[in-house]
Chains A and B, each alone.
Chain A
């Protein structure tokens, strides 16, 4: 699989640094220079307070130096040779983090230029002027701002103090200057190294993996402490890079598996996944993409609304919402009815337009299965798991309220919202029912199209529901695919293959795991030779897997589409579209509706799901509970007698012996 678009554009997310926090401040309406200046001011004013309002150049400078020392504790040891290097660097604007460069590249460069002009001039002269003193007293390039601030009451004092400048002070100053330059040089050096990292020029290999001894001994105290997030993040970054370019960047003597294990462990600690799920998700992607995936799960997807074309047009709706102070734009070229919301002054779920049914809040990914289904007017469509009705009403809108939609949901309380949405959006062609969807061709079959947006683990919508990170276990990934397989077979059997316009089934989940997607589709293909996969008709999305971790799937699985949060900024999603071209095999088709459900159950039950390991061990054959059976048999007997019109209480004595006798026979035969 290729690298996602987001990765190409942005690369792996940068490690957190101080610049990040200054940026946060900048978002609050300050420029970098300002915010930095502010923080600097803060430290300075603190110092000043401790100094007790001491005047005099030297003291102030020393205060400055101490503060800088405190800040740059991690400067590289190459300080002594630094001053010479830094002179070379003078003409070049100092390296800063990328984000800073983007915004105030020019003025920073200007400032730096000014400062350095002064510096070089001064050094040639061998004397120190006012300008220099001012500029030299600050580490940061934003001293202009400082001076304009009323807080610097000492500015007036400086002119007096400057006259008292002694040789000792000059010496102190130059020392301080040297240190500053050394720090700058160190920064430059660090930047160079980072650049080298990015261009894959082999530099120092980072120490990635814990030593074993440390691992074992250190695990207990570590578990008690909160993990150092920045450290973890750095290590994740390093490991990802190592796995990307293993021969050059990996730590020597450690295998790829060890690196991967470490990375998964770090991801669990950093993002809070269960180990099982982290590994499952990690294995779906190359390391770098996996990291981007986990990262994308931490940020919310954009809010998207779908225009209800039964009631209004997108242009009118957009205008009405803009008038209410909503910032929006079309969600993309692929949809003519979606609007992406950036900012809203009013609650979007309670505007008069919302209540009048002009739009519905719906994730962008939820458009996709309906677009793939492409329902036509005057068709009969089934939505097997309909609540809360976003997709159902979308189908109704595409069909222009003609034909018929059966909206089914097995959960009655969720059906309330479904009915509400159907009425609010003005869909008149829907019938809402409350069956277990697996009963379906038995209830009514012969549909032109069926949409199955199956219940799933929700690994594609972790950003929306972070509880998925921890509450999904191995059992869920056995139970859910089991249910999904049954549902998909029911969906296939509910479709009329002779339909002139349709005969299509769309299977979708909001999960990204292979078990719930390709695995289920492959199962359906093998069970129902009368269906084939067809193009979904969606303009974007990644192809489904045709091989995964040693399993190979049908070649046609590349017609299915996968969506990832990091690649398209939509929820993780899977969409596949089947075309039914023949009747279902005998005993499973809609023609044989009555026994259908049972047969399906049998078929799907071929791979039974073990409840727990203990159960498996104790009674591999299910076991008999004589006493429990007794109660059931007694009840059945009474019911049978009542049916025949005999009072079951009348002849309890002689009738109750019979089942007992049978019971004994049964147990005997079992024993022998």
Chain B
């Protein structure tokens, strides 16, 4: 377990900023005003990046590297080429700070959770003035976060789309907890 290097931090923050926009800095703001107050930090363990309270990360130093399987919330993993891939486990953090959002209707929930992209007919509501290829968090109509992805069209273009046209490409959805449990977590 170690803190991120400069390049890793850049790769990670670039990715996160795609979803959170300016509220990215809220992610690492101290939790309280006291001088040595607790704050959230990023840690790398076994090429997975974890978002975890500093106090918790300090406690986890007593676990040896090969025995430590997970701590706090897993955001995703660094690929061998140095890119960063967000996992579905990062959803609670993205949802909390998301800038652009898409709400899918009840009839679109299951197709999305089974790994499909979001077609226009299933969109119940979306954030206005959203650009093309912008990271968005996907919610159900009762505001439960279901996953995240990137828009296929800007909001204006999407208006002219026919109902079966794809408005948003899926990147991760909650169904992965069942489908990809084996590859999602580092336990080998």
Task: Say yes or no: is A422 at the interface (Cβ < 8 Å to chain B).
Answer: yes
Q: With A404-B59, A429-B53 as known contacts, state yes or no: A420 contacts B177, CB within 8 Å.
A: yes
User: Does B71 interact with chain A (Cβ within 8 Å)?
Assistant: yes
A433 close to B145 (CB less than 8 A) = no
Question: Which residues from chain B contact A355 at a C-beta distance below 8 Å?
Answer: 113, 146, 174-175, 177-178
On whether the beta carbons of B69 and A424 are closer than 8 Å, the reply is no
A352 touches B63 (CB 8 A): no
Note all chain A residues with C-beta closer than 8 A to B185: 416, 419-420
B181:A434 contact, CB within 8 angstroms: no
From A324, which residue of chain B is reached at the shortest CB distance?
A: B106
- Whether A352 touches B89, Cβ cut-off 8 Å, given contacts A433-B63, A434-B69, is no
Contact (Cβ within 8 A) B187 A443: no
A444 x B89 contact (CB < 8 A): no
Interface size on A, residues (CB 8 A): 32
Closest chain A CB from B1 CB (angstroms):
10
Asked if A412 meets B56 with Cβ closer than 8 Å, knowing A352-B144, A431-B63, the reply is no
User: Are the C-beta atoms of B69 and A415 separated by less than 8 Å?
Assistant: yes
**Neighbouring A residues of B74 by C-beta, 8 Å:** 419, 423
- For A142, the chain B residues whose CB sits under 8 A away are none
How many Å from the CB of B105 to the closest CB on chain A? 12
A155 CB to nearest chain B CB (Å): 55
Q: Does residue A261 face the partner (Cβ distance < 8 Å to B)?
A: no
Residues of B66-119 whose CB lies within 8 A of A: 67-74, 89, 92, 109-110, 113
Asked whether, in the complex, the Cβ of A443 is within 8 Å of the Cβ of B56, the reply is no
Restricting to A412-453, which residues have a CB under 8 Å from any CB of B? Answer: 412-413, 415-417, 419-420, 422-424, 426, 428-435, 443-444
User: Which of chain B's residues has its CB closest to A414's CB?
Assistant: B187
Contact with B along A383-425 (1 / 0, CB 8 A): 0000000000000000000001000000011011101101110
- Interface presence of B184 (CB below 8 A): yes
> Which residues on B sit within 8 Å (CB–CB) of A435?
63, 67
Which of these, A350, A430, A434, contacts B71 with CB under 8 Å? Answer: A430
Tell me how far the C-beta of A268 lies from the nearest C-beta in chain B, rounded to whole angstroms: 40
Bound together, the chains give a CA A423 to CA B73 distance in angstroms of 7
- Are B73 and A420 within 8 A (Cβ)? no
A356 within 8 A of B: yes
The reply to whether the CB of B167 lies closer than 8 angstroms to some CB of chain A is no
Does A356 lie within 8 Å of B89, measured CB to CB? no
Q: Is the CB of A416 within 8 A of B181?
A: yes
Q: In chain B, what residue has the closest Cβ to A352?
A: B109
Contacts of B174 in A (CB 8 A): 352, 355-357, 424
Contacts of A415 in B (CB 8 A): 69, 187
| CB atoms of A443 and B62 under 8 A apart | yes
B156 within 8 A of A: no
Kindly list 15 other residue pairs between chains A and B, CB separation below 8 angstroms, not including A355-B146, A426-B92. A349-B178, A352-B109, A358-B144, A404-B56, A412-B69, A416-B187, A419-B185, A428-B53, A428-B72, A431-B63, A431-B71, A432-B68, A432-B71, A434-B67, A435-B63
Q: Taking CB as reference atom, which chain A residue is nearest B87?
A: A423
User: Chain A nearest CB: distance from B90 CB in Å?
Assistant: 9
What is the CA–CA distance of A322 and B73 in the complex, to the nearest angstrom? 31
A380 surroundings in chain B (CB, below 8 A)? 59
Report 30 cross-chain contacts, Cβ distance below 8 Å, ordered by A residue: A350-B178, A352-B113, A353-B144, A355-B146, A356-B140, A356-B144, A356-B145, A356-B146, A412-B188, A413-B187, A415-B187, A416-B181, A416-B187, A419-B70, A419-B74, A420-B184, A424-B177, A426-B92, A428-B52, A429-B56, A429-B72, A430-B71, A430-B72, A432-B68, A432-B69, A434-B67, A434-B68, A434-B187, A435-B63, A435-B67
Judged by a CB distance under 8 angstroms, whether B55 is at the interface is yes
Q: Which residues of A contact B (CB under 8 A)?
A: 320, 349-350, 352-353, 355-358, 380, 404, 412-413, 415-417, 419-420, 422-424, 426, 428-435, 443-444
Q: How far is the CB of B80 from chain A (nearest CB, A)?
A: 22
Q: Across the interface, which residues of B come within 8 angstroms of A404, CB to CB? A: 55-56, 59
User: Pick the contact of B62 from A417, A430, A444 — CB < 8 Å?
Assistant: A444
Whether A352 pairs with B55 at a CB distance below 8 angstroms is: no
User: Which positions 159-183 of chain B face chain A at CB distance < 8 Å?
Assistant: 174-175, 177-178, 181-182
Contact check, B146 vs A433: say whether CB atoms are below 8 A apart. no
Q: Is the CB of B73 within 8 A of A428?
A: yes
Q: Give the distance in Å from the alpha carbon of A353 to the alpha carbon of B55 in the complex.
A: 31
How would residues 39 to 70 of chain B score, 1 for a CB under 8 Å from any chain A CB and 0 otherwise?
00000000000001101100110110001111
Tell whether, in the assembled complex, residue B67 and residue A433 are in contact, meaning their CB atoms are under 8 Å apart.
yes
Report the Cα distance A663→B144, complex, angstroms: 71
Q: Which of A380, A428, A430 has the most CB of B within 10 A?
A: A428
Of A352, A357, A424, A430, which one neighbours B70 at CB under 8 angstroms?
A430
The answer on a CB contact under 8 Å between A443 and B146 is no
CA distance in complex: A353, B30 (Å):
32
Minimum CB–CB distance for A172 against chain B, Å: 69
Contact, CB under 8 Å: B55 / A443: no
> Which residue in chain A gives the minimum CB-CB distance to B62?
A444
Identify the 4 closest CB pairs spanning chains A and B, nearest first.
Answer: A355-B174, A432-B70, A423-B89, A444-B62
Asked whether B187 lies within 8 Å of A444 as measured between CB atoms, the reply is: no
Say yes or no: B59 contacts A431, CB within 8 Å: yes
* Contact for A444 among B63, B145, B184, CB less than 8 A: B63
